[in-house]
Structure 1
């Protein structure tokens, strides 16, 4: 007995996305990234070096943070050690030594063993008081 094909449309279109080429491309990209990732060097941060500074300013205010996290503020022109200053009075003492000139730089000298957050608290207190120029003193390697 003979079979007849149905009349009308012989083939129907399939309304589906073919995922096989998409998966092939993704696997190739994955392999490329897996091979090249170890070859990429991590980015380097370029920190300023100590030797780039010019000469030291003639007039500056020095804030000293010692190992006991006590603060001393003195005129940077070679003044003798002063009394300890609490953090709450730091800004007033610095502004007094600046003599109303906000462009006089403030240099923070902290001991190597002092906590980082203590130095940041000093810098934050000075910034909130409106001191524009704050720097950190460093010891050059010999």
Structure 2
């Protein structure tokens, strides 16, 4: 009968390194996509338009949502008085596009106030999001 030497013993532990690598990659992907999903889930009753273009998501796009309850810069609630300072912080060397998402029941003056603040900061490119009639 042959005795098992110390060198011939099988490894009885499972190597967890590949498992941890996969979990971390999945976590990074989840974190990157979760921020984009939140912006699209803000409930707005957008106005309808007969004409328009499909919205293309840009990397240097700033989303401003205007609801009856207030303003959202991305997914963060802000006051109109603070919007200028917060926008100034978000502007980088490029001239970003402003995506305006205004609820159809919001007074138009609030939309004009937001556009005025953007113009004061030198922001010239706007996209107004609407619902298409299909």
TM class by shorter-chain length? 0.5 to 0.7
SS at match of 1:119: helix
Alpha-carbon offset, residue 99 of structure 1: 2.5
SS at match of 1:89: helix
Alpha-carbon offset, residue 60 of structure 1: 0.4
Higher helix share: 2
Which residue of structure 2 lines up, in the alignment, with residue 130 of structure 1? 122
Which residue of structure 2 lines up, in the alignment, with residue 95 of structure 1? 88
Larger radius of gyration: 1
Alpha-carbon offset, residue 61 of structure 1: 0.3
Which residue of structure 2 lines up, in the alignment, with residue 86 of structure 1? 79
Runs of 4+ with >6 A deviation: none
Structure 1: gaps spanning 5 or more residues: 1-46, 75-80
Deviates more, 1:121-130 or 1:90-99: 90-99
Alpha-carbon offset, residue 128 of structure 1: 1.4
Alpha-carbon distance between aligned partners in 2 of 1:86 and 1:58, rounded to the nearest angstrom = 25
TM-score normalised to structure 1 length: 0.52
Structure 2: gaps spanning 5 or more residues: 1-48
- In structure 2, relative to structure 1, the CA distance for the partners of 1:139 and 1:127 (3 Å cut) is same
Q: Does 1:110 align with 2:95?
A: no
SS at match of 2:112: helix
Q: Highest relative contact order (Cα 8 Å, sep 6+), 1 or 2?
A: 2
- In structure 2, relative to structure 1, the CA distance for the partners of 1:55 and 1:67 (3 Å cut) is same
Alpha-carbon distance between aligned partners in 2 of 1:135 and 1:117, rounded to the nearest angstrom = 17
RMSD: 2.3
